[in-house]
Structure 1
Amino acid sequence: MSVSINKITVLGSGVMGHGIAQVSAMAGYNVTLRDIEQSFLDKAMEKIRWSLNKLVEKQKLSQQDADKIFARITPVVDLKTALKGADLLIEAVPEDMNLKKKVYAEVDSFAEDKTLYASNTSTLPITDMAALTSRPERFIGLHFFNPPQLMPLVEVIPGAKSNAGMVDMAMDYCKKVGKQPVLCKKDVPGFIVNRVFIPLVHEAVYCMERDNASMTQIDSAVKFRMSFPMGIFELADYTGLDVIHKATVEMHMRDAKVIFPHPKIKQLFDEKNLGQKTGKGFYEYKGDKYERVNLTEQEAATYNPIKLLAVAANNAAWLITNGVCDRAELEKALKLGMGLKKELFATMQEFGPQNVVKTLQELAAKYGQFYQPDPYLVSYRA
Structure 2
Amino acid sequence: MGHGIAQVSAASGYEVVLRDIEQRFLDSAMEKIRWSLDKMASKGRITAEEKDGILNRIRPVVALGEALEGADLVIEAVPEVMDLKRKVYAELDAAAPEGAAFASNTSTLPITEIAQATSRPERFIGIHFFNPPQLMKLVEVIPGEGTSDETTRMTLEYVESLGKQAVLCRKDVPGFIVNRLFIPMVHEACHAMDRTGASMEQIDSAVKFGLGFPMGIFELADFTGMDVIHKATVEMHQRDKGVVNPHPLVEKMFNEKKLGKKSGEGYYKYSDEKYERVALSEELAAGYDPLELAASVLNNAAWLVSNGASDIEEIEKAARLGLGLKNPLFETAKEMGMGRIVGALEKMAAKYGPFYRPDPLFATM
Per the TM superposition, whether the score is higher than 0.5 is: yes
Give the structure 2 partner of residue 176 of structure 1.
161
Alpha-carbon separation, structure 2, partners of 1:379 and 1:84: 52
CA displacement 1:256-307 (0-9 Å, x = unmatched): 1111000100000001110011100000000142211111111112211111
- Alignment of 1:285 with 2:265, yes or no, is no
Matches within 5 A, 1:70-85: 70-85=55-70
2:87 match? 102
Unaligned runs of 5+ in 2: none
Once the two structures are superposed, residues 86-140 of structure 1 have per-residue CA deviations (whole angstroms, 9 ceiling, x without a partner) of 1100011001010011111111111111211110000000001111101000110
Other-structure match for 2:316: 331
Q: Separation in 2 of the partners of 1:308 and 1:368?
A: 16
Q: Which residue of 2 aligns with 1:250?
A: 235
**How much is the aligned-residue C-alpha RMSD, in angstroms?**
0.7
Answer yes or no: is 1:370 the counterpart of 2:355. Answer: yes
Determine the structure 2 residue equivalent to 1:9.
none
Q: Distance in 2 between matches of 1:125 and 1:223?
A: 31
Deviation of the 1:255 alpha carbon? 0.8
Per mean C-alpha deviation after superposition, the further-off stretch among 154-163 and 370-379 is 370-379
- Equivalent of residue 313 in structure 1, options 298, 316, 332: 298
Q: Which of the numbers 283, 287, 298 marks the counterpart of 1:298?
A: 283
- Unaligned 5+ segments in structure 1 are 1-15
Q: Quote the residue 1:33 is aligned against.
A: 18
Tell whether the 8 Å contact from 2:226 to 2:259 is kept in structure 1 after alignment.
Answer: yes
Residue 55 of structure 1 pairs with residue 55 of structure 2: no
Measured against aligned partners, the alpha-carbon deviations of 1:132-171 in whole angstroms (never above 9, x if no partner) come to: 1010001100011111111110110000010000111010
Deviation at 1:68, TM superposition (A): 0.8
State the SS of the aligned residue for 2:330: helix
Aligned pair partner of 1:140 in 112, 122, 125: 125
DSSP-derived class of the 1:319 partner? helix
> Deviation digits for residues 203-251 of structure 1, max 9, x if unmatched?
0000011100000000000000000010000000000010000000000
Residue 261 of structure 2: which of 266, 272, 276 is its match? 276
Q: Which residue is equivalent to 1:20?
A: 5
1:213 is the counterpart of 2:198: yes
Aligned equivalents of 2:77, 2:19: Cα separation in 1 = 10
SS in 2 for 1:256: coil
- Which of the numbers 88, 93, 97 marks the counterpart of 2:73? 88
Q: Percent identity?
A: 61
Q: Secondary structure at the match of 2:233?
A: helix
Are residues 288 and 117 of structure 1, via their aligned partners in 2, closer, same or farther at CA, if it must alter by over 3 Å? Answer: farther
Partner of 1:199: 184
1:157 to 142, 155, 161: 142
Match of residue 351, structure 1, among 320, 325, 336 = 336
Residue of structure 1 in register with 2:346 after alignment: 361
Does the CA-based 8 Å contact 1:220-1:231 persist in structure 2? Answer: yes
Match for residue 125 of structure 1?
A: 110
Partner of 2:248: 263
Structure 2 residue matching 1:33: 3-state secondary structure: strand
- In the alignment, what sits opposite 2:223? 238
Quickly say closer, same or farther: Cα 1:65–1:236, change in 2 above 3 A: same
Normalised TM-score (structure 1): 0.95
Secondary structure at 1:128 match in 2: helix
Cα distance in 2 for partners of 1:71, 1:269 equals 40
- Maintained 8 Å contact 1:257/1:369: no
How many matched pairs?
365
**Contact kept? 1:220, 1:296, Cα under 8 Å:** yes
TM-score (norm 2): 0.99
Instruction: Provide the secondary structure at the position in 2 that maps to 1:257.
Output: coil
AA matched with 2:191: Y
